[in-house]
Amino acid sequence: MNRLYIITLLILPSLLFSTETPIWDIALPGKLLFEPVESSGNDLLLICEDRRLYSVDILSGSIKWKLRPGGKLKELYTSPDGSIILLGENTLYSIYNNGEIRWSLDVLKGFDSKLSLDKRGNLLYISDNKLYKVDRFGNRTIINDTFKGSLFTVLDNGLILYYENNKLEALTYSNSFAWSVNLIKEPTLMISKSDSVYLFYQNGDVDLYSNEGLYFNSFETKNKNPYDVSINLDSDLLVKGDKGITLIEKSSVLTVGIDSNYGLYYSNGILIKSYSDWTLKGFKQSKDSRFYGAGLEQTLKQTISLSDISIWGDDKFKEYFRHIILGGDRELQKDVLLNVEKVIKSDKLFDVMPNFYGILLLASSKQNKNQDIRQNAYRLIGLSRDISFLPYLLADLERERSYILLPYIIYALGQLGVDRTGEVVSLINKRVDDYFDEKIVINSLYSLYNINNYTNGQYLLSVFTGIEKILNGGYSRKIENQCYDIIKKIK
């Protein structure tokens, strides 16, 4: 077996942070039940023994809100759509970012596994030997009613990977077997990242496999007995073991010893530590430190646009579909999109058309000059309500210069109904000013309305600012009436 050995550094927090004087120090209302979790923005989520969920501002240490759902609380997650997922003893909660419960589901037999979330906001869990899927709106279905896997995770392409009888096996959402790989030893942890899966072993080794079951490489962390693994907001892997926290970013590994009950790095460079059961402290990085969140110098992240065909390599999609989309035959392209629409809400989507997302991305690229094809692609993206398209749609909304295509991009964003930071609402408001076009305005109105509903009014002031801007824009009486109708619905 080929192995890739990566230099592993063991660094004490004092080398990275000024730990003499915290930037904040708060007294907790009880013992922390488990380690804090980083949410979107600057939020730190934690649960104390008073069985309340607290949201703390990482930069100031102030408590923003608290919630007591009821019953014993076991685990805490954040969803890709910005909501909070809370696992009780027999209940599953979805919570808005402002602390209000979005929905809850009873799990009468309890949970036999940790949750696994995919990038589209679906979450999976095992209960009573059944594998369940719950979408981000709280709709629950059974994938497999005789599931025997122990560890499991979900890949971006919709495959469910699990360990059973010395094998790494793959299952689709429609319960079809995909592939199987023999393993020499049993992993203790498993997590997916993009289209790959990481297997962690007791001795600190890590194996990396592709979404097709192909072995990539192995490396050593020297952090034995790993007991937890997660991914932070910068997509860095955080593994906790005997020697502290190991942060894995691309081909680099950094292990940081933590001399406290709880200690975590966060993606904005703040170190959170607990020296007792009843206190929590936050520290800034040292000014002379070269290290950032994951132990590496911070680099600017590029935004990717659907319009940039160069980002999609040949290995992403089958040559057949690439030929159809890029061949320029308008009727064939329309036929492909029509077939996509037929299965878009089917549980067998990944089985019938595994290249679904690739087809939409390619169809919406500027390499095809027929705007009706791109219009249809954006419409289908909206129909899919797939939040993994959010960064691409945002990039297109910012760059697109066609007043014909802008309404379709805005429509798709409204159907997704996701806004983690207020950026979506702000950008829609900005683009309304660029063209005096009623179709852009109408789609913007209803997108603002949908986003406001899905985010529980989190950006209400910005939504009303956008509506007020449209009211004062000199549009027709019909537009004005629609503005007032939406204002009444929101109130």
476-491 pLDDT tens trace = 899 999 999 999 888 6
Query: Would you state the structure tokens that stand for residue 205, as one six-digit string?
Result: 């080794």
Average pLDDT of the residues in 75-101: 89
Please tell me whether residues 44 and 120 are part of one structural domain.
Answer: yes
pLDDT > 90? residue 410: yes
Q: Note whether 456 and 476 are within 8 A (CB).
A: no
Please tell me whether residues 248 and 313 are part of one structural domain.
Answer: no
- Looking up tokens 């020296």 gives 275
Q: Tens digit of pLDDT for each residue in 436-479?
A: 888 999 999 999 999 999 888 888 899 999 999 898 888 889 99
pLDDT > 90? residue 230: no
Rounded Cα gap, residues 285 and 277, in angstroms: 24
Helix/strand number for the chain, H first, E second: 12, 29
Please tell me whether residues 264 and 343 are part of one structural domain.
Answer: no
- Total domains in the chain come to 2
* pLDDT score at 474: 87
Amino acid, single-letter form, for residue 91: T
Please tell me whether residues 236 and 103 are part of one structural domain.
Answer: yes
In a domain, 329, yes or no: yes
In a domain, 300, yes or no: no
Please tell me whether residues 197 and 134 are part of one structural domain.
Answer: yes
Please tell me whether residues 98 and 233 are part of one structural domain.
Answer: yes
Question: What SS3 string covers 293-338?
Answer: CCCECCCCCCCCCCCCHHHCCHHHCCHHHHHHHHCCCHHHHHHHHH
Please tell me whether residues 202 and 262 are part of one structural domain.
Answer: yes
Query: Would you state the structure tokens that stand for residue 334, as one six-digit string?
Result: 């329309």
* pLDDT score at 2: 34
In a domain, 212, yes or no: yes
Q: Tens digit of pLDDT for each residue in 139-158?
A: 999 999 999 887 888 887 77
Average pLDDT of the residues in 36-45: 78
pLDDT > 90? residue 49: no
Please tell me whether residues 175 and 240 are part of one structural domain.
Answer: yes
Neighbours of 299 (CB within 10 A): 7
Domain limits for position 376: 309-490
What CATH number did the domain enclosing 350 receive?
A: 1.25.10.10
Average pLDDT of the residues in 90-106: 92
* pLDDT score at 14: 41
* pLDDT score at 299: 28
Please tell me whether residues 80 and 167 are part of one structural domain.
Answer: yes
Residues in the chain: 491
Please tell me whether residues 81 and 125 are part of one structural domain.
Answer: yes
Reported as a pLDDT band with limits 50, 70 and 90, residue 349 is: very low
DSSP secondary structure letters along 411-471: HHHHHHT--SSSHHHHHHHHHHTT---HHHHHHHHHHHHHHHHHTTTTTHHHHHHHHHHHH
What CATH number did the domain enclosing 83 receive?
A: 2.130.10.10
